[in-house]
A and B are shown apart, each in its own frame.
Chain A
Amino acid sequence: MTQPLLSIDDLHKSYGSEEVLEGVGLEMDQGDVTVLIGPSGSGKSTLLRCVNRLTEINSGRIALDGQDVTGADTDVNELRKQVGMVFQDFNLFAHLTALENVTLGPKKVLGMDAADAEAAGRNHLEQVGLLEQADSYPAELSGGQKQRVGIARALAMDPELVLFDEPTSALDPELVGEVVEVMRDLADEGITMLVVSHEMDFARSAASDIVFLDDGEIVEHGPPEQLFQNPTADRTEQFLSRLHAHEETA
Chain B
Amino acid sequence: MSTAESTTSPNPGLRDRVGTVFTVRPLTVGLALFWVWVLARWTTDFVLAGVSGFDRGTPFIPAAPFLTTADAVASLATPLGVAGAPLVWFADTLRFAADATAYLPALAHGIWTTVLLTVFSVCLGFALALPLSVVRVYGGRWARWFALSYTELIRGTPLLAQLFVLYFATSLTQVLRGVPGVGVGFVPAQAFWVAVISFTLNSAAYQSEYLRASLESVDGGQLTAARAIGLSKLEGIRYVVVPQGLRLALPSWTNELVYLIKYSSLASFITVQELYGRTSTIANETYQYTELFVLVAILYLALVVSASALMDRVESHTATAGVGHTRQ
User: Which residues of A lie under 8 Å from residue B229 when comparing CB positions?
Assistant: 80-81, 84, 104-105, 109, 153-154, 157
16 pairs of residues in contact across A and B, judged by CB atoms under 8 Å: A54-B224, A54-B227, A77-B230, A78-B230, A80-B229, A84-B229, A87-B224, A87-B225, A91-B219, A91-B221, A93-B222, A94-B320, A94-B323, A95-B240, A95-B320, A104-B226
B-facing residues in A99-114 (Cβ within 8 Å):
104-105, 108-109
Cross-chain contact B323 with A77 (CB below 8 angstroms)? no
A213 on the B face (CB < 8 A): no
Instruction: Output the nearest chain B residue to A140 by Cβ-Cβ distance.
Output: B321
Count the B residues whose beta carbon is within 8 Å of the partner chain — how many?
23
User: Which residues of B lie under 8 Å from residue A33 when comparing CB positions?
Assistant: none
Q: A52-B228, A139-B321 are in contact. List 17 more A-B contacts (CB 8 A).
A: A77-B230, A77-B232, A78-B230, A80-B230, A91-B222, A93-B225, A94-B323, A95-B320, A95-B323, A104-B231, A104-B239, A105-B231, A108-B231, A108-B235, A137-B321, A137-B322, A138-B322
Instruction: Output the nearest chain A residue to B229 by Cβ-Cβ distance.
Output: A105
A126 to chain B, nearest CB (A): 20
A54 CA / B228 CA spacing, docked (Å): 7
B30 on the A face (CB < 8 A): no
A-facing residues in B187-236 (Cβ within 8 Å):
218-219, 221-222, 224-232, 235
Q: Mark each residue of chain A from 68 to 98: 1 if its CB lies under 8 Å from any CB of chain B, else 0.
A: 0000000001101100110101011111000
Instruction: Output the nearest chain A residue to B244 by Cβ-Cβ distance.
Output: A95
Q: Mark each residue of chain A from 46 to 70: 1 if its CB lies under 8 Å from any CB of chain B, else 0.
A: 0000001010000000000000000
B228 to chain A, nearest CB (A): 4
Which interface class (under 10, 10 to 19, 20 to 34, 35 or more) fits A?
A: 20 to 34
A150 CA / B226 CA spacing, docked (Å): 12
A87 CA / B230 CA spacing, docked (Å): 15
User: Which residues of A lie under 8 Å from residue B218 when comparing CB positions?
Assistant: 94
B41 on the A face (CB < 8 A): no
B247 on the A face (CB < 8 A): yes
Cross-chain contact B228 with A80 (CB below 8 angstroms)? yes
User: Which residues of A lie under 8 Å from residue B322 when comparing CB positions?
Assistant: 94, 137-140
Cross-chain contact A95 with B230 (CB below 8 angstroms)? no
User: Which residues of A lie under 8 Å from residue B321 when comparing CB positions?
Assistant: 137, 139-140
B243 on the A face (CB < 8 A): yes
A145 CA / B322 CA spacing, docked (Å): 15
Count chain B CB atoms within 10 A of each CB in A80, A94, A150 and give the residue with the most.
A94
Contacts A77-B231, A105-B230 given; does A92 touch B320 at CB 8 Å:
no
Cross-chain contact A80 with B221 (CB below 8 angstroms)? no
User: Which residues of A lie under 8 Å from residue B235 when comparing CB positions?
Assistant: 108
A54 CA / B227 CA spacing, docked (Å): 8
B-facing residues in A152-193 (Cβ within 8 Å):
153-154, 157
A188 CA / B243 CA spacing, docked (Å): 38
User: Which residues of B lie under 8 Å from residue A52 when comparing CB positions?
Assistant: 228
Count chain B CB atoms within 10 A of each CB in A80, A85, A108, A153 and give the residue with the most.
A108
A185 CA / B240 CA spacing, docked (Å): 30
Cross-chain contact B231 with A93 (CB below 8 angstroms)? no
In-complex Cβ contact of A87 among B221, B232, B240, B323 (8 A): B221
B183 to chain A, nearest CB (A): 44
Cross-chain contact A80 with B244 (CB below 8 angstroms)? no
User: Which residues of B lie under 8 Å from residue A150 when comparing CB positions?
Assistant: 225
A93 CA / B225 CA spacing, docked (Å): 8
A153 CA / B244 CA spacing, docked (Å): 19
Closest 7 interchain pairs by CB?
A: A139-B322, A105-B229, A91-B225, A91-B221, A80-B230, A109-B230, A85-B228
Count chain A CB atoms within 10 A of each CB in B225, B231, B320 and give the residue with the most.
B225
B309 to chain A, nearest CB (A): 24
A184 CA / B218 CA spacing, docked (Å): 32
Instruction: Output the nearest chain A residue to B246 by Cβ-Cβ distance.
Output: A95
A77 CA / B227 CA spacing, docked (Å): 8
User: Which residues of B lie under 8 Å from residue A54 when comparing CB positions?
Assistant: 224, 227-228
